[in-house]
Amino acid sequence: MSTSTKEPRGALRRIAADPVSRRRFFAVSGGTGAAALLVACGDDEDSTTSGSNATTTDMPENVSSQFGEGDLGIVNYALTLEYLEADFYEQVAKSGLFKGEDLALIKAIGDSEQQHVDALLATVNSLDGEAAAAPKTEFPLDDAESVLDLAATVENLGAAAYLGAAGMIEDEGILAAALSIHSVEARHAAALNVLTGQSPTPDGAFAKPADMETVLAEVQPFIVS
């Protein structure tokens, strides 16, 4: 194939360019959230560079060297974030800071994050790849208020991470799975934002993506090995 051929790169671009693919993708992943991702990420050529919302379709070299190339690398990147989230909620549940309905909410969110871990591990296996190792973590669990603030930060970051990586995913099935996780992360974030006195949609009508390097820098303080 000639390198001058303008063929959409990545699953989002292929879906945006093909009405049949769009209908099939919406059927798998749900309508409005999928449409928002296609608007946000599906029509750019190589990158989007509008101020603080800049995203790129190319995985940073230092990230690919850590997690792997292509979709496998993206899945391992997401898996690492889900390890952190699942471990965070497990530690919070055991901390004794929450009881009753609050503890039930913490456990419910933690269960979702563990299911994300399990699903991503299965995806790595389907790609015949090697899964990223679960990092050892340590979180500040000083009091209930600061822990809820941190939970909101973690969930907002997780939702932004999935949005930021969406444009790099090549396989439409993996993209649909990532979107389904992104939606849950965003719902967790909205609930925790309300609990901590923030807007449920702090970025307004359209969520802002976060690139891989930014996300990894944000979570690095919680990784001890």
pLDDT for 14 equals 55
pLDDT for 62 equals 85
Per-residue pLDDT tens over the stretch 169-217 = 999 999 999 999 999 999 999 999 999 999 999 999 999 999 999 999 9
CATH class of the structural domain 56-222: mainly alpha
220 burial level (CB within 10 Å; 0-12, 13-18, 19+) = exposed
Residue 211 CB partners (closer than 8 Å, separation 6+): 54, 55, 56, 60, 164
pLDDT for 57 equals 55
Which of the residues in the chain have pLDDT under 50? 1-8, 20, 22, 25-56
Spatial distance between the Cα atoms of 189 and 192, rounded to a whole number of angstroms: 5
Q: Dihedrals φ, ψ of 55, to 5°?
A: -135, 165
